[in-house]
Amino acid sequence: MKKYLFPFLAIAIGLYPVIYLAKGSQFGILQMKSDLWTGWTYKTGFYAHIVFGGIAMLLGWSQFMRNWRLKHPVWHRNLGKGYVATVIPAAVAGIYLSFNAEGGPIASAGFFLLGWIFLLTTLWAYRSARKGDFTAHERWMVYSYAACFAAVTLRLWMPIFVPLFGDFTPAYQTVAWLCWVPNMAFAWWVTRKG
């Protein structure tokens, strides 16, 4: 059961943008945005973030299946290139969106740092692979996907913290940090353990 939970969550949240594409601004966080932030620049950034981020989520989880990765190195390399190609626009759009995050400066700072960590760890992982340093590549990819997986942990924490705080804003401010900081701590633990 436990070994299926990680791919299930990654696939479920990877496909989550389909709901936004189907329902538009009548779904999720877009319902809360004023007309100012639902203009074409915000929407372009938002959809770039969720669509490319969703694809990265879908591509990334399989890369952690060691036996499959070793048996299919060409697939691993091609999926990895696709992952990098989708992370870049997802992370850049996330950084742009962070400046107008619900929850003000506290949430903005959390998402801003997450966007940069997502982008930089992915680029460092790619650079390490290009140099043939596969130990560093694997380590940076753990951090990169931990940042990517913040999309999952955010959606796991929100249903707990909204009722706990009784209000969306303080819950979102907390989750803007809680969705990725423990993920990074877990990535640190995994990379030190291995």
Q: To 5 degrees, how large is the angle CA 25–CA 30–CA 33?
A: 115
Phi-psi sector, 28: left (phi>0), alpha (psi -120 to 50), beta:
left
How does pLDDT run across 9-42, given as a tens digit for each residue? 888 888 887 877 776 666 555 555 555 556 778 8
* Residue 190 to residues 54, 66, 123, 150, Cα–Cα distance (Å): 24, 14, 20, 16
**Domain boundaries defined on the chain:** 2-193
- pLDDT of 166 higher than 80: yes
How does pLDDT run across 59-93, given as a tens digit for each residue? 998 888 888 788 888 998 999 999 999 999 999 99
3 state DSSP class of 57:
helix
pLDDT of residue 19: 76
| 87: nearest Cα among 105, 62, 47, 60 | 60
| 93: nearest Cα among 110, 118, 58, 57 | 118
Judge contact between 94 and 114, C-beta under 8 A: yes
pTM: 0.89
Beta strands in 13-170 (DSSP E): none
Secondary structure of 111-131 in the HEC alphabet? HHHHHHHHHHHHHHHHHHHHH
